[in-house]
Amino acid sequence: MQGLAQDILLVEDNPGDARLLRELLIDEVGREGFRMRDARTLAEALHRIVEQRPDMVVLDLSLPDSFGLETLFRIQSQDALLPIIVLTGNEDQALALAAVKAGAQDFLVKQDLSGRLLVKTLQYARERKHNEARLRVSEARFRSLAELSSDWYWEQDAEHRLTYLSDGLLEKSGVDPAALLGRRWCEVSPGDGDATWAPLRKALANTQPFQDFVFPHATDGAETLHISISGVPVFESGAFAGYRGLGKDVSSRERAAAHLRGSEERFRRMLDTGRDGILMLDADGLISFCNRQAASLLGLEATELYGLRLDKMLVHEAPPGMAEHGAQEEHGVAVRRADGSTIFVMESLYPVPGPDGLHAGTLAILTDLTVYKQREERVRELAALAAQKSEAERASHAKSRFMAAVSHDLRQPMHALGLFIDDLKSAELPEHVYPVLDHMESALHSTQTLLDSILIMSRLETGMVAPNFMVFPLEPLLARLRAAFGPTARQKNVRFVVASSALNVYSDPALLERVMANLVSNALRYTDKGGVIVACRPAGRDVRLEVWDSGMGIPVEHQEAVFREFYRIERGEDDRGGLGLGLAIVRSCTQLLGCPVQLRSVPGRGSRFSLRIAVGEPRLQAPASAEIQLADDSTDARFEGLRVLLIDDDALILEGTQKLLERWGCHVVPAQSGSQADVLLDGAVLPDLVISDLRLEAGELGTEIVARIRRRYRPGLPALLVSGDTSLQTARFVRQHGLPLLYKPVAPARLRAIIAKICGG
């Protein structure tokens, strides 16, 4: 085996152990392969280290004048770079391990010692010594280079306290290294806050390398420097020993960066003040910059847009651009926003050349045209509504003329019939005939009342009644009520009192009189004892008109329903007749007048109806009657293959409509309820159109069914409703849901036209 060529100092107080080590080495490398000197005490060992400068020490920690780790520390204090191998017995291995952690190169157990192991241990120690020497030379060279570079060198211990700072710190930044030694980096600028130091603390806590960590440092001259440091963890014998790294003054760079950020911020604010969206696309068409308006137009945050392709957001991709070939391009396009909505923009593209003159990107300017498009659409809608309104008005006038003609033609024979009945009642007839004539007269009166009510309701429903507001005295109206209903009250032997009033009111006198007459007529019909009172009570700047009766009253569960058309409370044998239109007319008229009627009633004790009318000064015009949306029936569309979901709880209507649609080429899926429609749609091909009755059994509404289908399957799915209810309230309700409405019976041409309109056919 190759010789050790080492000068070994053996510190061992046991001559037998010393002799054993020497013999083991002789057996392995021969007498010429090493030189060994002995020392039996610590004092002798320290002397020999100073005088003879050995290459290595083999040390027994238990000596006459020293014991344990203290022995190691004393040797290290004499020469910190001297390699030390510890000798120990089986019972002292824990102490030997502690010695290695404290800086010993290795340890040997005397009982397990062999020549080969001893030689290898000494050889490894020698190699480590040489490597450490080379490392010291390398570090010295590195430090010299660090002094010459713009960077400076630093070291920390395991507690992250600075143990070394090269002179470059003073030369490059004017900071005295001595002022920083013994401090942690975060203690250099303690007033800068935890947020600045959080990334560095995290790296140090995880013993990870870090690079280019920048922090501010205020000098004594009140100047703030910006220091950048990079570091790597250092491990010695597997144990963390601290950090070492480089630092440099980046104040100039930070000032330039701050100036650039300020300039960019001012530039961005300038771009953000404009109305147009501005984007920069790179050579691949990817968004690399956008202002706030562009982000708002596209419905995303600016950071979410970076890296996306603008052309992929177009509903219809623009024709191949000229911008990338060096020419300006401008065209209108539709853009799909992140939420799925569509906007219209004018897209202007400008080529951006690179330093080499080649295409480097594109400047895109987006001008929002949505408002203009909406205005155009609104103009078209208004034109269509005007046409529909004109058509509705013509139809309404025609209906009114027809109803007037019918009224005239019916009233003639009815009037003659009344005369004949009166003539018969004055003649001498058998007694049993008179009750029959009374019944005939009552039936004729009911027919006249029905006709009047139908005519009034027809005019109200078609919007043909427009309030004519004016200031007029209230007393003449009250006087006419006394005259008109006094005989009826006397005939029923009930008290009838109408208060007097000297007030002027602001309303429509005809409509107000119709309201009061219907309320008084209703009160007298259901009052058999007590009386009916018409009162006028001041209410601030209004007057409250009230009709009190002591009749049978209205149960709570019917108090809302009695205002519906043709609604009557079933009272068994005590049925008083009536058509169920009087209170419906009252509600329609008071809505036109802007003074809703209020009801308070106690069954068995009577009722009170009241409304408030302005006193003597004009109010704003009452709300105009709503217009019912009509479909354009001039469209000639083809429906071949159109998938229609048809919903109606009437089997005959469902079958008839299905056959009609199928004759037009539609594929129809019929359903008698919303739940059945849900089952049919589950897993099936979605329809192109939904047609539903407005009111189905079990209280289902077509508006709710359409909303549920749209929510589950396809927002904006075309749909329309049909209904036999022609009231203004129904029309307004459907319009609030944004759905077209057709009234039963529906003409095929009208149905065909509105399908073509909403399906774009």
Backbone angles phi, psi at 241, to 5 degrees: -115, -5
Q: pLDDT value at position 556?
A: 86
Q: Which of 10-24, 198-212, 393-407, 615-629 is predicted least confidently?
A: 615-629
Whole-angstrom Cα distance, residue 699 to residue 693? 12
Mean pLDDT of 120-137: 77
Q: pLDDT value at position 669?
A: 94
Mean pLDDT of 174-178: 76
Q: pLDDT value at position 630?
A: 33
Residue 147 binned pLDDT confidence (cut-offs 50, 70, 90): low
Whole-angstrom Cα distance, residue 468 to residue 718? 40
Q: What percent of the chain has pLDDT over 70?
A: 80
Q: pLDDT value at position 3?
A: 54
Q: What is the mean pLDDT of the chain?
A: 80
- Tell me the three state secondary structure of residue 345: strand
Pick the CATH number of 282-368 from 3.30.450.20, 3.40.50.10310, 1.10.580.10, 3.40.50.300: 3.30.450.20
Could you tell me which CATH number the domain at 149-255 has?
Answer: 3.30.450.20
Q: pLDDT value at position 371?
A: 73
677 CB burial (10 A radius; 0-12, 13-18, 19+): buried
Residue 323 binned pLDDT confidence (cut-offs 50, 70, 90): very low
Q: Examine the pLDDT at 524 and tell me if it is beyond 80.
A: yes
Q: What is the pLDDT of residues 684-700, one digit of tens each?
A: 889 999 999 998 888 89
- Tell me the three state secondary structure of residue 494: coil
Nearest Cα to Cα of residue 499 among 554, 547, 550: 547
Nearest Cα to Cα of residue 702 among 746, 660, 649: 649
What's the angle, vertex CA 470, arms to CA 467 and CA 471, rounded to 5? Answer: 145
3-state class percentages of the chain: helix first, strand second, coil last, to nearest 5: 45, 25, 30
Q: Which of 172-176, 345-349, 599-603 is predicted least confidently?
A: 172-176
In order of 49, 82, 106, 284, 488, the CA distances from 71 in angstroms are 14, 14, 15, 72, 133
Could you tell me which CATH number the domain at 643-758 has?
Answer: 3.40.50.2300
Quickly name the fold that domain 7-134 has.
Rossmann fold (3.40.50)
Q: pLDDT value at position 146?
A: 57
Q: Examine the pLDDT at 559 and tell me if it is beyond 90.
A: no
Query: Residue 345 region, left (φ>0) first, then alpha (ψ -120 to 50), else beta?
Result: beta
Q: pLDDT value at position 322?
A: 42
Residues 6 or more apart in contact with residue 364 via CB below 8 angstroms: 278, 279, 280, 281, 310, 347, 348, 349, 350
Classify domain 466-615 at the CATH superfamily level.
Answer: Histidine kinase-like ATPase, C-terminal domain (3.30.565.10)
Mean pLDDT of 76-86: 85
Q: pLDDT value at position 600?
A: 92
Could you tell me which CATH number the domain at 374-457 has?
Answer: 1.10.287
User: Across 233-247, 294-308, 620-634, which has the greatest mean pLDDT?
Assistant: 233-247
Strand order in the sheet with 643-647: 667-671, 643-647, 689-693, 719-723, 741-743
Q: pLDDT value at position 624?
A: 32
Residue 127 binned pLDDT confidence (cut-offs 50, 70, 90): confident
Cα dihedral: 750, 755, 756, 760 (round 10): 150
Query: Beta-carbon neighbour count of residue 127 at 10 Å?
Result: 11
Nearest Cα to Cα of residue 585 among 605, 606, 565: 565
The model's pTM is 0.32
Residue 130 binned pLDDT confidence (cut-offs 50, 70, 90): confident
pLDDT top residue among 436 and 611: 611
Cis? peptide before 745, omega within 30° of 0:
yes
508 CB burial (10 A radius; 0-12, 13-18, 19+): buried
Token couple for 32: 């010429």
Whole-angstrom Cα distance, residue 28 to residue 33? 9
Q: Which of 92-96, 287-291, 515-519 is predicted least confidently?
A: 92-96
Ordered by start, the domain boundaries in the chain are 7-134, 149-255, 282-368, 374-457, 466-615, 643-758
Q: What is the pLDDT of residues 477-508, one digit of tens each?
A: 999 899 888 888 998 999 999 999 999 999 99
Residues 6 or more apart in contact with residue 546 via CB below 8 angstroms: 533, 534, 535, 536, 537, 608, 609, 610
Contact of 755 with 761, CB cutoff 8 Å: yes
39 CB burial (10 A radius; 0-12, 13-18, 19+): buried
Q: pLDDT value at position 459?
A: 63
On the question of a common fold for 149-255 and 282-368, the answer reads yes
Q: pLDDT value at position 52?
A: 87
Whole-angstrom Cα distance, residue 756 to residue 413? 47
